[in-house]
Amino acid sequence: MLKGISVLGYLAMAGGLVALIFTRQVLSLSPLVIVPQAAGTALMIWARITFGRRSFHAVANPTEGGLVTTGPYHYIRHPIYTGVCLFTTAGVAAHLSWPAVLLWAVVCSGILARVFCEERLVVARYPEYREYAAKTARMIPFLF
């Protein structure tokens, strides 16, 4: 069940982002958009490099090799999803419209579905994740 929900979350996240790109509602030449989008992209790259050679799957599936708790994972548990949220939020704020907000909500809903599914699956595989989660924010330090 969790894996199925995670696939739907992935499709919502990826589909919403692709729709935002094709409808030209996520990119901007404004520095007020470029700076947070660059920060979000840098966070995603940093997290991916820290995560190492482990592969990414459309299905939330804990990988072999133990928990990664270094790099951005030292501060937040889901830095790649945080980077995607930062990227899309900045872009949608620059192109504020009902269609853009709706697509942003689709992206963020997909991310939240993935986050909660992944966490339950990771706890089942790595019980020490509970201790890590108790001292690390999901996506936004001190808030969430």
Transcribe 8-41 into DSSP letters.
HHHHHHHHHHHHHHHTT-S--S-HHHHHHHHHHH
Q: Does 59 fall in a domain?
A: no
Cβ–Cβ < 8 Å for 73, 50? yes
Q: How many domains does the structure of the chain reveal? A: 1
Confidence of residue 142 (pLDDT cuts 50, 70, 90): confident
pLDDT value of position 57: 67
Q: Does 141 fall in a domain?
A: no
User: 22-39: per-residue pLDDT in tens?
Assistant: 999 998 899 999 999 999
Q: Does 144 fall in a domain?
A: no
Domain coverage including residue 31: 2-54+64-135
Q: Does 11 fall in a domain?
A: yes
Q: Does 129 fall in a domain?
A: yes
Under DSSP, the state recorded for 76 is B
Q: Does 73 fall in a domain?
A: yes
Output the pTM of the full model: 0.89
Q: Does 140 fall in a domain?
A: no
Q: Does 75 fall in a domain?
A: yes
pLDDT (mean) for 124-138: 91
